[in-house]
């Protein structure tokens, strides 16, 4: 869903687009790891999502 939104939003700068796509990928990785029930790997993926989400919030003026 994030990838489609990024692709359809012409107002994003290249940096914003890259950050948004990285966040989308991090969400996908976290979801995949949650299924594996590997707590350490999932926590690392969740930390990655949180870091990338904070970066996007800062870019959007919401963080």
The per-residue pLDDT string of the chain (63 residues; one tens digit each, 9 = 90 and over) reads 767 877 777 788 888 889 888 999 999 888 888 888 778 888 999 999 999 999 988 888 776
**Quick one: pLDDT at residue 63?**
60
- The full DSSP string for 8-25 is H-TT--HHHHHHHHHHHH
CB atoms near residue 29 (< 10 Å): 17
């Amino acid at each position: 869903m994030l990838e489609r939104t990024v692709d359809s939003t012409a107002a994003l700068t290249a940096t914003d687009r890259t950050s948004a796509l990285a966040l989308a990928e991090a969400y996908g990785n976290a979801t995949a790891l949650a299924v594996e029930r590997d707590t350490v790997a999932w926590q690392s993926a969740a930390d990655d999502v949180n870091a990338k989400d904070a970066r996007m919030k800062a870019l959007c003026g919401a963080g």
